[in-house]
Structure 1
Amino acid sequence: MENTITTAQALARALSEAGVQRIFGLPGGGSSLDVIEAAAQLGIDFVLTKSENAAVMMAGAMAETTGIPGVAIMTKGPGVANGANGVAYASLDRAPVLVISDGFTPKQLSYITHQVFNQKDMLAPVVKGFSRLEGTDPVAEINAMLALAASAPFGPVHIELTSEAAKRLVPALMVKTKPSEPDAFSPENFSAVKQLLGQAQRPVLIVGLEARQSAQQVRQLAQLLACPVLPTYKAKGVVSDEDPQVVGVFTGGLQEAECIAQSDLMVLVGLDPVEMILQPWRYGKAVCEIASVEHLVHYVQADARVTGSLDAILGQLNAALLDYQSGWQPSQWSDIRTEVQEKLAYPPVKFGVAPDRVVQLAARACADKKILPRMSVDAGAHMFSATAFFPSTRPGDALISNGLASMAFALPAAIACALDDPTQAVMCFTGDGGLMMCMGELCTAVETQAKIVVVVFNDSALSLIDIKQQSRQLPTRGVRWGRHDFAGAMQALGGLGFSVHNEIEYTQALKTALDANGPCLIDVQIDSSGYSHQLKAMRG
């Protein structure tokens, strides 16, 4: 029939219409092959990863960078099981991702037990929706899944597609869903927030991940309030780190306490409680909140809260604040920023390169070569320096798993970011532990010639856990390993690898790596003795 296409083709067409340019994954022998081929016919590339976990992380990072839904493909059974951690990342880090897996038909399940488990139930706690595209209108199901993933709070959806369903014929005419209207907000709640803000003389602006799609409005609000700004890790760049109003990062810890102590109102904009550390709310200040959705579990009950379209709320709020007079002086922003950075400075090291200097020298090398500063950072002690000392000037240019705080994230995320914009290098800051969990993706970087500079903080330990073990005065067990040659491994895989032991060697390696046309790895010897100092300064 000339006016029909397969469900796989309909899915590929919907992805193309949504702006998807590449799919990540490891295919099985079923429907994934149909989807990959249908997508290729529409110019959508397929990136073959080395694990399903990395595939979902790449898809999520791509979504965080571009705002376009990410797509990850995997086989049934072990593919879904291996991808589950990545799906949990997409859920807790609010990344809109379509997770497409192979599936079994009812007939197959009547006699097959090999690789069979309930994939829907396994992923149900960490996905927003599920479909097998077997209803009367699979096109509508596809559009509904895309819309659900991209509705606040963003997150993954699961499409389990059998070979039979993938080959099913559907009408070729695509019926696109109408763009959803911006979420309306309560005038009464808006007035309460506006009144609280109008009465404040020294507010502090806390910017969270939901604000990444409203950077222009948030920057205008910061200018009108003329107050200190504290972005979360995932909101770095919403207000440029080069703006003097940005005085640090907000985690719910100790480092921001002095700034908040000088304020009379905390203004939360797009803050998702999933971004905060596992400590009770410590700030005895009035709070007003502007959020996309209401978070039923939260660290604090705001004195005034309005939820809905951030663009709409902030646009109206900014218009009402044109005559606002701030009680802050610019010199006070500067003093707070200087104090925060001094407290986070790493103590003198006995060998190797201090972690803060690793990051500062990387930022300087990017600036010297006029490279836009983009980074991914893994979970671990090194992230204290990376998030504090590497500047982000645009939303989405700092990629980190903060909600799940998963290791093995930085390398896949950097690859995705580099493929999105191959003209400039992406800095990838990772601990040795996190890298060892995903070293196969170095092969992916080499195969795709992703322009990334992987900086390995090589301290031969799970340093953050090591610190906690020491703080409990327990013997050292299960947190340290021997020193490994990551530079040699990178060279063996076909990339450039450098092993450095001091700042001079590191600086030279950075220059060479940033000039390269493919992936490079710099293995930096780290003295981990100062991490406990940074942890105390950050979190108390």
Structure 2
Amino acid sequence: MPDDMGRGAAPATVAEALLADLARRGTRRIWGVPGGGSSLDLLLGMPRFGIDFVLTKHEGAAAMAALADAELTGAPGVVLTTKGPGVGNALNGLACASLERAPVVLVSDGFTPQQLDWVTHQVFDQRAASAPYVAGYDTGEDAASIAALLDTAHRERRPVHLDLTGTTARRAPGARKPRALAEKRAPNLGHGAALLLNARRPVLIAGLEAAEPDAAVALRELAEALGAPVLVTYKAKGVLPDAHPLHAGIFTGGALEAPFVATADLILTVGLDPVELILQPWPYQAPVVDIARRPFPVRYVAPSATLHGPLAASLRGLHRAVHPLDWTMAEIEAHRARAEQALTWDGDRFVSPPDIVRIAQQEARRAGLAPRVAVDAGAHMFSATAFWQCEAPRDLLISNGLASMGYALPAGIAAALHDPARGAICFTGDGGLMMVAGELATAAAAGARLVTVVFNDGALSLIDIKQQSRQLPPAGVRWTRPDFARVAEGFGVTGFVATDAESYRDALRAAFALDGPSLIDVHVDPAGYPAQLRAMRG
């Protein structure tokens, strides 16, 4: 935070009170497309509070970037919009943040009561529009109400909506009331510890809550003390490094992991949110110990025991039940090898998606880089999540709860700006990129060290596969392959085209040598997607 705030200069307006509170919580970047009301007051004040503004090309993309920011920093991610269409455009990103359980703050220009008496242009009920996605709504009358709203976002791990008029933004903020810290109650470990003490083959399944730093450390400690295998959801990639001998691969609730998990006599779900699982019934008979911050409103399985409270405390408390198990490292390794083989295929005409991911990581390491990756929704995500090797939580960013196309590019920009030394890779399909192609200009303007890798197969491949599985004629899911390299160049991003492994490696080496953004248009062989989908989901 700049020196004047450090010396205690008090915010003079509601807009400054909001910025001061965000800065105190660790927010360093706001994303969006501003309007002409309170947006202007916030833009004016951001430099004073050490907060940068990133002008995106669409409010939905801004909300996706804010979501990634929130996951990477733990601080509120913030999206700024104008009234009316700005709020409407942001809603998909807001829905994404809601289902990814992220503290995102939508700050929209609002209408004054006087305006609503006679204005109809661009007017709809903005509060009702955001209501399905947010845990709180406020009009920011003073610093205390703003603090309470931001507390709600943090506590609930969900978005909130601040509908702020220009008149309110320029009002004196009033006193900021000190926040009472919530009491952290220790979980009751009794029955859960007893079940673990009696188990010979427990498995741990890590979900999105386990990606929080303290929880990830505690989970690894418990797994190593037990010698028990750990499976991870997409959101929990890196909670246990992929190269760790206890890492047993991805868990989606599907077929790929089922034979392995079925041999367990106890399943410990650690921060596993039902929103992460595919639409299939829970197939396992072993008792379940649910370890989570609090109960989830929807369940796929009734747990035999629950440990609700801070995850790290629950996991460390279970050390009293550590004892020798029947698992062998050879079993875990054999499962990983079977899963990898089931998801691998060689490209016929072009580069296969598994090789696109593997080669990208090989070339990044060759260049001395360890970029984060952001993965879009689509058939390519099976390869990206399975074959990109993570070492720490948030090494891979993905929309899993909403599984929204158009997520990866704005999330990749956020990751690249969050840690410029590491940079980022965006793995996206051609359909997803076309939804947010304008954000290539955002990457160029920001100088983001981002390599966008486009799996260009000329189709909505995941839907195409489902169409084929019903033996329906192709309709409505295919198009002529765009030339994304030329599109990228038009936005100021260096573009490459790759049609085989050699040209792809050459493009990656050139891209990793750049300080700014680049795009590699990789022509993809989609032939193995149907078999990959069957292996994953059954």
Q: TM-score, normalised by structure 1?
A: 0.96
Distance 1:115 1:532 in 2: 45
Q: In the alignment, what sits opposite 1:145?
A: 149
Distance 1:434 1:419 in 2: 21
- Whether 1:181 and 2:183 are equivalent positions in the alignment is yes
Amino acid of the residue matched to residue 260 of structure 1?
V
Distance 1:109 1:193 in 2: 55
- Whether 1:66 and 2:73 are equivalent positions in the alignment is yes
Q: Which runs of 4+ in 1 moved over 6 A?
A: none
Counterpart pick for 2:57 among 42, 50, 53: 50
1:152-191 aligned within 5 A: 152=156, 154-171=157-174, 174-182=176-184, 184-187=185-188, 190-191=189-190
SS of equivalent to 1:528: coil
Task: Give the Å deviation of 1:170.
Answer: 2.3
Tell whether the 8 Å contact from 1:451 to 1:518 is kept in structure 2 after alignment. yes
Q: In the alignment, what sits opposite 2:518?
A: 520
Distance 2:160 2:131 in 1: 9
Q: In the alignment, what sits opposite 2:308?
A: 307
Distance 2:181 2:247 in 1: 34
CA displacement 1:96-120 (0-9 Å, x = unmatched): 1111001101110000010110010
- Identity level (%): 49
Distance 1:311 1:122 in 2: 37
Counterpart pick for 2:129 among 122, 125, 131: 122
Q: In the alignment, what sits opposite 2:472?
A: 474
Tell whether the 8 Å contact from 1:66 to 1:396 is kept in structure 2 after alignment. no
Tell whether the 8 Å contact from 1:65 to 1:397 is kept in structure 2 after alignment. no
SS of equivalent to 2:487: helix
Tell whether the 8 Å contact from 2:496 to 2:519 is kept in structure 1 after alignment. yes
Q: In the alignment, what sits opposite 1:451?
A: 449
Amino acid of the residue matched to residue 372 of structure 1?
A
Amino acid of the residue matched to residue 377 of structure 1?
V
1:77-156 aligned within 5 A: 77-134=84-141, 138-152=142-156, 154-156=157-159
Task: Give the Å deviation of 1:368.
Answer: 1.8
Tell whether the 8 Å contact from 2:495 to 2:520 is kept in structure 1 after alignment. yes
CA displacement 1:207-248 (0-9 Å, x = unmatched): 000111111101101112212111100000111112121121
Q: In the alignment, what sits opposite 1:403?
A: 401
Tell whether the 8 Å contact from 1:425 to 1:514 is kept in structure 2 after alignment. no
SS of equivalent to 2:118: coil
Task: Give the Å deviation of 1:39.
Answer: 1.8
Q: In the alignment, what sits opposite 2:260?
A: 259
Tell whether the 8 Å contact from 2:147 to 2:176 is kept in structure 1 after alignment. no
Q: In the alignment, what sits opposite 1:18?
A: 25
1:303-342 aligned within 5 A: 303-318=304-319, 320-321=320-321, 323-342=322-341
Tell whether the 8 Å contact from 1:373 to 1:393 is kept in structure 2 after alignment. no
SS of equivalent to 2:404: coil
**Gapped regions of structure 2 (runs ≥ 5):** 1-8
Tell whether the 8 Å contact from 1:32 to 1:74 is kept in structure 2 after alignment. yes
Q: TM-score, normalised by structure 2?
A: 0.96
Distance 1:6 1:480 in 2: 52
Tell whether the 8 Å contact from 1:373 to 1:391 is kept in structure 2 after alignment. no
CA displacement 1:499-518 (0-9 Å, x = unmatched): 01100110111111111100
1:199-214 aligned within 5 A: 199-213=198-212, 214=215
Task: Give the Å deviation of 1:459.
Answer: 0.2
Distance 2:423 2:512 in 1: 6
Tell whether the 8 Å contact from 2:210 to 2:239 is kept in structure 1 after alignment. yes
Distance 1:166 1:155 in 2: 24
Distance 2:274 2:173 in 1: 42
CA displacement 1:430-460 (0-9 Å, x = unmatched): 0000000000000000000100110000000
Task: Give the Å deviation of 1:397.
Answer: 1.6
Distance 2:20 2:167 in 1: 19
Task: Give the Å deviation of 1:424.
Answer: 2.1
Q: In the alignment, what sits opposite 1:412?
A: 410
CA displacement 1:477-499 (0-9 Å, x = unmatched): 10000011001111122211110
Q: In the alignment, what sits opposite 1:9?
A: 16
Distance 1:443 1:84 in 2: 22
Task: Give the Å deviation of 1:369.
Answer: 2.3
Task: Give the Å deviation of 1:283.
Answer: 1.8
CA displacement 1:53-88 (0-9 Å, x = unmatched): 010110100111121110110001000000000000
Amino acid of the residue matched to residue 220 of structure 1?
E
**Bigger CA drift: 76-85 or 331-340?**
331-340
Distance 2:52 2:180 in 1: 27
Q: In the alignment, what sits opposite 1:464?
A: 462
SS of equivalent to 1:365: helix
Task: Give the Å deviation of 1:204.
Answer: 0.9
Amino acid of the residue matched to residue 206 of structure 1?
I
Q: In the alignment, what sits opposite 2:270?
A: 269
Distance 2:281 2:485 in 1: 42
Distance 1:326 1:37 in 2: 61
Counterpart pick for 1:484 among 474, 482, 485: 482
Tell whether the 8 Å contact from 1:375 to 1:427 is kept in structure 2 after alignment. yes
Distance 2:387 2:178 in 1: 44
**Gapped regions of structure 1 (runs ≥ 5):** none
Distance 1:245 1:366 in 2: 25
Tell whether the 8 Å contact from 1:501 to 1:525 is kept in structure 2 after alignment. yes
> For residues 4 and 474 of structure 1, do their structure 2 counterparts lie closer, same or farther at Cα, with a shift above 3 Å needed?
closer
Distance 1:517 1:310 in 2: 39
SS of equivalent to 2:247: coil
Task: Give the Å deviation of 1:174.
Answer: 4.0
Distance 1:38 1:326 in 2: 58
Q: In the alignment, what sits opposite 2:5?
A: none
Q: In the alignment, what sits opposite 2:3?
A: none
CA RMSD, 1 decimal:
1.3
Q: In the alignment, what sits opposite 2:358?
A: 360
